[in-house]
Structure 1
Amino acid sequence: MQNTIEIAVCLCIEHSVVTETLSRALSGAGFTVLGNIQDPGVIDDTTVVIFQPSTRSSHYLMQYGSRKAWIAYIDPSVQHQSLESYAAQGIREVLYADELAPHRLQRSVDRAIKQQHMLQRQSHYDGLTGLLSNRGFLEATDQALFNVGVNGRMVALLALDLRGFNDINQHYGFSFADQLLSFVSLRLKSTLGPLAKIARLGGDEFFVLLEQLSSIDAAQRVATRIRAVFDDPFRVHNESVRISADIGMVIYPETMGSAEELMRHAHAAMHTAKGRDISIYRYEQGAVDDWSENMEQALRLALRRGEFELFYQPKVCLRQRNILGMEALIRWRHPTQGLLSPQHFITAAESSGVIVPIGYWIIEQVCKDMQTLVDHGLFDVSIATNLSFRQLQDEPFCKALPRLLQEANVNLNCLEFELTETTMLTEPESALDTLNQVTALGVTISLDDFGTGYSSLAHIRQYPISTIKIDRSFTQRVSLDHEADSIVRSIINLAHDLNMQVVAEGVEDDTQLNFLLGNGCDQVQGYLFSEPRPMWEVLQLIDKILLPVNLSGVHTGQ
C-alpha cells in the first residue's frame, strides 16, 4: 500500500490520550496526519477516515466505548453533513487505543482501502460478465449527455432483452444460462469494441450506450449490427443454442430527459418491440405507443378479472434453522399467454401507473395470506412484498398506506416491505414520512438487491431499514470467485456493523450455503430450499420438508 494516501484523523478534544496515540501510530506507519479536523469539507477527497467517538456521539460511545476508534471508508461523491455521517458509512475496523501500534494500524488501513476499492468496483461492474452495472452505466450516460452540449453530437441508448432465455434457464439450469450470458457479453464487446459502453442490469437484460453519433441513421446501423450478433448460434457446454433479442432504442437530444428517464424510455421501447414481434423499435418523444396503451388496458382488465396471483418463496433463518418468513412474488395468469412472471409486465405497470392499484391488491392479498398462516398455526412467519418507486411517488397511496395497514387486523410485526436502491433515491420526501409511519406500526423495511444499484451508505442510514438482501448475482459466485467472496463478506460485516440483518438471495447449492453459514449470514432464500410457489404448496412444503430445515441441503425434487 502506498503511504502517500491521505488519512483524515477525526478526533475530539475530550480524548487527548487517544489522539496522541493515533497520531504517533499514523506517523510511525508513514502516513501524513491531517490533524484534528472539525470541518467535513476538508476531508471530501480522503480515502479513509479514522474516527474517534466524542461525547456528542452517544450512540457510538454506548456501542464501542470511549477507548475505541474505528476506521471507515468514505464515498467522495456524497455531500456529508457531519463527522458522524462518515462513521455511519461503514465501520471496517474497531480498535482499542492501546492496540494502535504502527504495524497494526498499517494492516487495518490497508484492509479498509482494499475493501473500499472492492465495494466501489462491485457497484460499477456486473460480477458475472464484467460489463458495467446499473450504477456504472448511469454515470457513463450522465457524462455522455453532458458531452452532447460540448460536441453537439447525438447519444443513443439501447435496451436488449433475450427472447426465450427463461425457457433455456429452466431447461438447462442456471450454470448453463450464466455461461450463455457470458458468451453474449463477449460477442457484444467483440462486435462493438470501443464504439459503445455495455451494461448488464440483471437477468438477461443488457444496455448499450453509443456516443458522438452523427445521425439517427448511424444509431440504426449500430442497432442492426447488434441484432446480427444473434444470427449465429452460441456453443455452450457442447450444446448449440440459438437465441434472439428484442431491442429498444432512444436518441438524445431527439428525446429529452435525464439518464434514468432515457433508460426507462429505451426499456419501454424494448417491450414495444417484443409486443409487436419486431426486432428493433425506436422510442420517439410525443409519439403514440399503441402497444403501451393496450398493455395498460390489459393490466387494468386483469386486475378487474382477478387474473393476478401471489407466489411465495420461503426465507430460512440459519441461526434457528427454520422458516422465518417468505417473499410474495406476483404472477399474471394471462388467458392466452399462460402464467407470466413480473419481468413481462411490471415495467409497463410502473410506466403507466397501474402498479398503484395493483399495489393495493397485493397488500390486501398479503394480509389475507398472513391470516392463512395464523390459521395454519404459523404465528411468527413473516411475509415480505415489494414497494416500487412509482407507488411511493403516488401521494394518495402514501397517505392511505398506514390507514390500510391499521385496518387490516393482522400482526404487522410479521409484515415487511422491500425497497430497491433505485426506489430509495427516486421517491419524494413524503415517502420517507410514510415509511417512518409504517415502521412505527411494526412493519419492517428491507433493502433488496443490494450492490446492484447506486445508493451510498449515507442514503441507507436515512431510511428505517432493518435488513439488507444480497443480490443473487453475488451469492451464486461465492466459492468460485475470490472477489465475490470478499464482497459478500464485506456486505455481511457492513450490515451487522449497522445492526441490520442479512438475507442472501439465489442460494442453489450446498457450497453457497456453507459459505454463508461460515460468514455469519442470517437468512437465505433460493431454489436449494424452494422455488416460488402458491401459498397452499408452501404450507405443504413447510409441513413436510422445511420445518425444521435440514441445512445440509434440501432438494425439492424439481
Structure 2
Amino acid sequence: MKLSRPGVLPEPVTVAALLLKVPPVEPTVTVAEVLELFTDNPKLVAIPIVADGLPRGIINRKTIIEGFARPYTRELLGRKPIASFMDVQPLVIDLLTDLDDLSHTIMESGMHYMHDGFIITKDGRYAGMGTGYDLMRTITERTQANLYSLAHFDALTGLPNRLLFLDRLNQTMAQAHRNERLVAVMLLDLDRFKAINDTLGHTMGDLLLKSVAERLAECVREDDTVARLGGDEFTVLLPEIRYIQDAAAVAQKILDALAQPFFLDGHEVFIGTSIGISLYPFDEELSALLRNADTAMYEAKQDGGNTYQFYTAEMSTASLRRLSLEGALRRALERGEFVLHYQPQIDLARDEIVGAEALVRWQHPDLGLLGPMEFIPLAEENGLIVPLGEWVLRTACAQNRAWQNAGLPPIRVTVNLSVRQFHQKNLADIVARILEQTGLDAQRLELEITESCLIQNTQTTVTLLTELNRLGVRISIDDFGTGYSSLAYLKRFPIDTLKIDRSFVCDIDTDPDDAAIVKAIIALAQSLEMHVIAEGVETRNQLDFLHTYQCNEIQGYLVSPPLPAGDFAALLAMDARGPVAIRPPADRRRPLGHGVGGQSETNRL
C-alpha cells in the first residue's frame, strides 16, 4: 500500500497546468492572415505576437472580428501588419508561477485577462497561452479535491480516516460475501505512545505517528487499507483473505516492523503496539467487527502489549467489566472509595523502618479491594489520574503526620507521581500547599518519578525539580535502568535516590547479567552521593547480595506486603521496640489475588 492522498495534487499547482500550445505569429503578419486564423478556428480566443521567441503582444478575437465587420475595412486595413493592432501590454506569466499568484494578479487587473488570456513563458521565451476559463476550472477542481481529502483522509498522516475506512469496510464485506472469503479487521493502539507524547512533546508525537503510518503501509498489500481513526489508534483492513493465519502473519509483520527503533530529531524511541483482530463473517455486522476488534485489542494490552489477539466471545465479559469500572471510577473519588496501603522500606545498615511507599487501592462497593492494574490505566485514559494523584499525595502526607502525632518514629513517605501530574505547571505550589495544610515536614516526603518524566522540556524540568528541592522534598527515580537511563540527567537534576527495578532484583542470585547491573547501579549511586533502594526483595539470597554490595535500603515481600494504615502503624510501633523480623519465604502472603499489589504492581500512585 502506498501512502497518498487521492484528490490532493501532490505538488504545488503552477501555470504549467494551464499551458495551451497556441502557434504564435510574427508582428509582420498581415491583419487579413490573422483574421483568417480566427475564422478557421472558432475556439481561438487570442493569438500571441512573438518575435525571435520573445512575446511582443497579443491580439484577441473580439478586436479583429468586430473591427473588420464594417464595410471596406478588410480592403483598407487587411494588408497592414498585425503589430499595428495588437495589445502591446499583455499579461506575461512564467511557467512555474503558482496558480494562486496568477489568480491574485488577474483579480488586481479588474479581471481583464480572464477573457483575453495570457502569454506563458519558459525562461523568458514564449511557451504557450493560458485562458481565464481554464484557470477557473483548475481552481474549482483543486478545491473539490481538497474538500474530498479533508473529508476522507487524515491531515497528519495522509491515511484514510474513519469515514473512508467505514466506506471501504462496507464494500469489502459485500464483496467477501459474494466471493465467500474472509475479511480481517485489525485495531491497533500504540504502546507507550502517551508517555512519549507527554515527555518529548506533541511535535515529536506527530513525527512518530507519521513514521508509524509509513511502516504500516509497508506491511500490507496494495489492496489493503491502513487508516488512522484518531490519536494513536490505527486500523488495518485485509479484504478477501483465505485463512485466519493470513491475518496472524500480517499482525506479526506489523509487530516486527514497529519493534524497530524510531529516530526522531535526535531521539531514539522504542514503542510497540497492541493489536485486536475480528473476522467477517464470524462477526456479520460492521459495528460488531469494530467493537470486537476493540475488545481484542484491549485484551492484548492487558497481556502486556506488543502482541495480537483474535476476538473470542469470552472477551466480551471482560469488556463489560471494564466499562462498568470506568463508569464507577468517575464517582469513586467523590465517594471516598480509594484507600492507601503502605509498604515499609528498611535501612540495611540500621536494620529499621525508615520509610513507606504509599500505594493506592480501590475499595469497590461490589468487587471488593482492587489493585492499581484494574483502574490506573483507566484513570490515565479519562484524565482522573491528576485529581486522584493529588488525593494520594494529600492523604499520604496527612497519614505520615498522624503517625508522628501518635508518637511513632518519624519516617519519610514516598508518593509516586504520574507523568501527567509531574508536568502540571503548578506542581511545586500544590506540594507546598499540601505540606503546609497537613503540617508534614518536607524532608519527610519523597516524590517518586519515572525516567521518562525527565526528558521533555529539560529546562522546565530542572526548574521544577529545583523548586521541589528548595522546599526540602526528596526526589527518587523509580525503576531506574528500565527507561531513558542517562548519566547526563543524573548530573544535571537534583535527584536524591535511585530505585533499582524489581526486574533486576528477582534474579540477582542466579543471573550474572542482572547481578552486574545491580552492582553497577549501586556503585553509580555511591559515586554520585545518592541513596539507592532495591524493590521486589523476596528471598534471603537477594537480601544477602544487596547487603554485601552496600545497598542502602530494600522493600519487598521478604519484609512485608503493602499494609493498611493501621497495620503499618502497628508494624512501625513494633519496629521501634526492636528490628522487624525478616519473614521466611513460606510465610509471605500476597493480598488482592491475581498477583496485583505490592511488588507485582506496575501501575501505582
TM-score of the pair, normalised by structure 1: 0.52
The change in CA–CA distance for 1:294 and 1:520 in structure 2 (over 3 A counts) is same
Q: How does 1:175-214 map to 2 (within 5 A)?
A: 196=256, 209=273
2:547 aligned with 1:517, yes or no? yes
| Conserved 8 A contact 2:219-2:254 | no
Deviation at 1:457, TM superposition (A): 2.0
Deviation at 1:541, TM superposition (A): 2.0
Q: Which residue type is aligned with residue 470 of structure 1?
A: I
| Conserved 8 A contact 1:248-1:268 | no
Deviation at 1:427, TM superposition (A): 6.9
Deviation at 1:459, TM superposition (A): 2.5
Deviation at 1:350, TM superposition (A): 1.8
The change in CA–CA distance for 1:293 and 1:509 in structure 2 (over 3 A counts) is closer
1:316 paired residue number: 346
SS, match of residue 542 in structure 2: helix
Q: How does 1:89-104 map to 2 (within 5 A)?
A: none
1:281-305 Cα deviation digits (max 9, x unpaired) = 9xxxxxxxx9988755422311111
1:248 paired residue number: 297
Deviation at 1:484, TM superposition (A): 0.7
Q: How far apart in 1 are the matches of 2:215 and 2:352?
A: 59
2:508 paired residue number: 478
Q: How far apart in 1 are the matches of 2:565 and 2:278?
A: 47
1:436-467 Cα deviation digits (max 9, x unpaired) = 22221111000011122123221333322100
Q: How does 1:354-433 map to 2 (within 5 A)?
A: 354-426=384-456, 430-433=460-463
| Conserved 8 A contact 2:192-2:272 | no
Q: How does 1:148-547 map to 2 (within 5 A)?
A: 148-149=213-214, 152-153=217-218, 196=256, 209=273, 247-248=296-297, 277-278=315-316, 297-426=327-456, 430-544=460-574
Deviation at 1:347, TM superposition (A): 1.6
Q: How far apart in 2 are the matches of 1:294 and 1:280?
A: 10
Q: Which residue type is aligned with residue 149 of structure 1?
A: E
The change in CA–CA distance for 1:383 and 1:151 in structure 2 (over 3 A counts) is closer
SS, match of residue 491 in structure 1: helix
Larger relative contact order, structure 1 or 2 (CA cutoff 8 Å, min sep 6): 1
1:321-353 Cα deviation digits (max 9, x unpaired) = 110101000000011121111111112212222
Coordinate RMSD, CA, aligned: 4.7
Deviation at 1:144, TM superposition (A): 10
Q: Which residue type is aligned with residue 256 of structure 2?
A: A
Q: How far apart in 1 are the matches of 2:422 and 2:255?
A: 38
Q: How far apart in 1 are the matches of 2:192 and 2:521?
A: 18
1:265-323 Cα deviation digits (max 9, x unpaired) = x979999x999943999xxxxxxxx9988755422311111000000000000011110
Deviation at 1:479, TM superposition (A): 0.9
The change in CA–CA distance for 1:508 and 1:280 in structure 2 (over 3 A counts) is closer
| Conserved 8 A contact 2:409-2:572 | no
Deviation at 1:539, TM superposition (A): 1.7
The change in CA–CA distance for 1:534 and 1:147 in structure 2 (over 3 A counts) is closer
The change in CA–CA distance for 1:400 and 1:414 in structure 2 (over 3 A counts) is closer
Deviation at 1:516, TM superposition (A): 0.3
Deviation at 1:543, TM superposition (A): 3.0
Identity of aligned residues (%): 33
Q: Which residue type is aligned with residue 382 of structure 1?
A: R
| Conserved 8 A contact 2:272-2:305 | no
Q: Which residue type is aligned with residue 365 of structure 1?
A: T
Deviation at 1:423, TM superposition (A): 2.4
Q: How far apart in 2 are the matches of 1:307 and 1:209?
A: 33
1:28-77 Cα deviation digits (max 9, x unpaired) = xxxxxxxxxxxxxxxxxxxxxxxxxxxxxxxxxxxxxxxxxxxxxxxxxx
The change in CA–CA distance for 1:291 and 1:149 in structure 2 (over 3 A counts) is same
Deviation at 1:548, TM superposition (A): 3.4
Q: How far apart in 1 are the matches of 2:529 and 2:519?
A: 15
The change in CA–CA distance for 1:291 and 1:462 in structure 2 (over 3 A counts) is farther
1:146 paired residue number: 211
Deviation at 1:550, TM superposition (A): 5.6
SS, match of residue 344 in structure 2: strand
Q: How far apart in 2 are the matches of 1:270 and 1:195?
A: 8
SS, match of residue 278 in structure 1: helix
1:148-172 Cα deviation digits (max 9, x unpaired) = 537843599999xxxxxxxxxxxxx
Deviation at 1:429, TM superposition (A): 5.1
TM-score of the pair, normalised by structure 2: 0.48
The change in CA–CA distance for 1:399 and 1:267 in structure 2 (over 3 A counts) is farther
The change in CA–CA distance for 1:300 and 1:489 in structure 2 (over 3 A counts) is same
Q: How far apart in 2 are the matches of 1:334 and 1:353?
A: 20
Q: How far apart in 1 are the matches of 2:313 and 2:554?
A: 36
| Conserved 8 A contact 1:389-1:426 | no
Larger mean CA deviation between 346-355 and 314-323 belongs to: 346-355
SS, match of residue 455 in structure 2: helix
Deviation at 1:547, TM superposition (A): 5.5
The change in CA–CA distance for 1:387 and 1:194 in structure 2 (over 3 A counts) is closer
Q: How many residues align?
A: 339
The change in CA–CA distance for 1:274 and 1:420 in structure 2 (over 3 A counts) is farther
Deviation at 1:197, TM superposition (A): 7.0
| Conserved 8 A contact 2:342-2:562 | yes
Q: How far apart in 1 are the matches of 2:362 and 2:551?
A: 33
Larger mean CA deviation between 330-339 and 431-440 belongs to: 431-440
SS, match of residue 356 in structure 1: helix
The change in CA–CA distance for 1:527 and 1:496 in structure 2 (over 3 A counts) is same
1:171-225 Cα deviation digits (max 9, x unpaired) = xxxxxxxxxxxxxxxxx99x959973798xxxxxxx9559xxxxx99x657xx9x
Q: Which residue type is aligned with residue 336 of structure 1?
A: D
| Conserved 8 A contact 1:158-1:248 | no
1:105-142 Cα deviation digits (max 9, x unpaired) = xxxxxxxxxxxxxxxxxxxxxxxxxxxx989x989x99
Q: How does 1:67-78 map to 2 (within 5 A)?
A: none
1:53 paired residue number: none
Structure 2: segments with no counterpart, 5+ residues: 1-190, 221-225, 227-231, 235-247, 260-270, 283-293, 590-605
Q: How does 1:43-62 map to 2 (within 5 A)?
A: none
| Conserved 8 A contact 2:495-2:530 | yes
Q: How does 1:51-130 map to 2 (within 5 A)?
A: none
| Conserved 8 A contact 1:467-1:503 | yes
SS, match of residue 578 in structure 2: coil
Q: How far apart in 2 are the matches of 1:508 and 1:517?
A: 14
1:71-106 Cα deviation digits (max 9, x unpaired) = xxxxxxxxxxxxxxxxxxxxxxxxxxxxxxxxxxxx
1:242-283 Cα deviation digits (max 9, x unpaired) = xxx9742799xxxxxxxxxxx99x979999x999943999xx
Q: Which residue type is aligned with residue 357 of structure 1?
A: P
SS, match of residue 460 in structure 1: helix
